[in-house]
């Protein structure tokens, strides 16, 4: 009985020492494997983050292009409608002047961008 107990203890000690030795041998390999897996996970996360940023930038660019196209179309429509409507533009200008309280506006008639200040004299001299 004692012999079996000694053999069992020796076997248990041998298995324990062998297990510890195996762990000591394979632990560095596990550390390398673990570091490799962690690096690959970080790389995958960084790649995904970069793709998200690129897609957001592309979406913003497309939205900006659509806004610019819409503005261009609106400007064309407004420009086309005002091209032959100088009276409306004049009315808008006068309305804006009227809305500016406490301001004095002096209108100087021009002829070819030259103030026509002497028109009264020229007309009276011709009579």
**Domain range annotation of the chain:** 2-126
- pLDDT value, residue 127: 46
**With pLDDT > 70 as the criterion, what percentage of the chain qualifies?**
87
Confidence class of residue 118 from pLDDT cuts 50, 70 and 90? Answer: low
Q: Exposed, middle or buried, 73 (CB in 10 Å: 0-12/13-18/19+)?
A: exposed
pTM: 0.44
| 35 vs 119, more confident | 35
- pLDDT value, residue 32: 85
**With pLDDT > 90 as the criterion, what percentage of the chain qualifies?**
32
| Averaged pLDDT of the chain | 82
- pLDDT value, residue 93: 79
Q: pLDDT of 48-83, one tens digit each?
A: 999 999 999 999 999 999 999 999 999 999 888 888
């Amino acid at each position: 009985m004692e012999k079996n107990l000694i053999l069992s203890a020796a076997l248990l000690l041998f298995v324990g020492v062998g297990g510890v030795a195996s762990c000591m041998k394979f632990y560095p390999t596990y550390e390398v494997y673990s570091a490799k897996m962690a690096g690959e996970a970080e790389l995958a996360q960084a790649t995904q983050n970069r793709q998200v940023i690129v897609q957001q930038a592309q979406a913003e660019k497309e939205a900006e292009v659509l806004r610019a196209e819409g503005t261009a179309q609106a400007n064309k429509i407004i420009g086309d409608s005002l091209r032959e409507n100088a009276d409306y533009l004049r009315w808008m200008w006068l309305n804006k002047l009227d809305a500016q309280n406490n301001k004095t506006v002096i209108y100087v008639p021009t002829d070819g961008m030259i103030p026509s200040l002497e028109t009264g004299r020229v007309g009276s001299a011709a009579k």
